[in-house]
Amino acid sequence: MRLAYLAFVTVCLVWGTTYLAITVALETVPVLLVAGLRWMAAGVLLSGIVLASGRRLPARRLWGPLILLGFLMNIVGNGFVVWAQQYVPSGLTAVLIAVTPFWSALIERLLPHGDRFSRRALAGLTIGFAGIVVLVWPSMTQGGAGGRSFVLGVIAIQIACIGWVIGTSYAKRHELGDDPFPSTALQMVFSGIMLLTLATIQGQWSELTFTPRTLAAMAYLSIAGSLVAYSAYIYAIQHLPLSTVSLYAYINPMIAVALGTALLGEPLSPRIVLAAALVLVGTWIVGRKAG
């Protein structure tokens, strides 16, 4: 259990910094390659560690579920976030991802025999989505290409949240092998293959260049963000209550906003602070109900 809580703390700290790394990587690396190279590198490294330790990769009967999980969590869940960060600052992206518990509650409600919403949950959902409206309203009313791109980025982040919630629920409820690390390794490899195939179809390899800054960001995303933190997340959700693990959504935005403001000069206006506060308060109310 102590190791599970250590994994949870790792997720909270490391994933709060990956939004900054994604923004930096996007300076010279195309979107699909940011995600694809990240997951492929992490998957190959973790597979090597697994095999070197004398363990085996998952049997073929698990490949289908692992491909589905990789699609939901790494392509939809992470890929849409990377795409959105072309238009949405890193700190705001983390704040918007904090609404993940909202989607957990909504999806649970839609399932057969799902929990009904309490008044508290409805209040939390209302407050949280009011925060999103406060955030995007100027871009929706002012129009222009930049405003439309920002709104599309916000929508993409919500799609990413839905994919992540469904994938997390699937991973929690399905047997993916006794040892989570071989399964995680193969899942990341499958994700990398899918993303790099899409990048090839889109012709993004010809646009790929590296600077010392973007190369360092990609290395950090692959090793810290994926190999270490994603493996820690999979381990944590298999050994801790989902309501406990989901608390990372409250911590990541604070780290991401601080780093984005301090290192990238991202805006932090009173409206953004108000919107972030509404989102986090609404998330806390829903999460408290779920816990």
Choose the weakest-confidence range: 24-33, 71-80, 166-175: 166-175
% residues pLDDT > 70 (the chain):
89
Tokens describing residue 42: 């992490």
Q: What does the mean pLDDT of the chain come to? A: 85
Rg (CA), the chain: 19
Give DSSP secondary structure letters for 57-112: PPPGGGHHHHHHHHIIIIIIIIIHHHHHTTTS-HHHHHHHHTTHHHHHHHHHHHST
pLDDT in tens, 132-152: 778 777 766 565 566 788 889
> What's the pLDDT at 203?
96
Residue extents of the structural domains in the chain: 2-290
> What's the pLDDT at 291?
45
Q: Say what the pTM is.
A: 0.84
Cα of 160 vs its chain's centroid, Å: 7
Mean pLDDT of 38-42: 95
Q: For residue 157, what pLDDT band results from cuts at 50, 70 and 90?
A: very high
Compute the distance between CA of residue 273 and CA of residue 13 in angstroms, rounded to an integer.
Answer: 21
Compute the distance between CA of residue 55 and CA of residue 253 in angstroms, rounded to an integer.
Answer: 36
**Which is more confident, 182 or 99?**
182
> What's the pLDDT at 111?
64
Is the pLDDT at 98 greater than 50? The verdict is yes
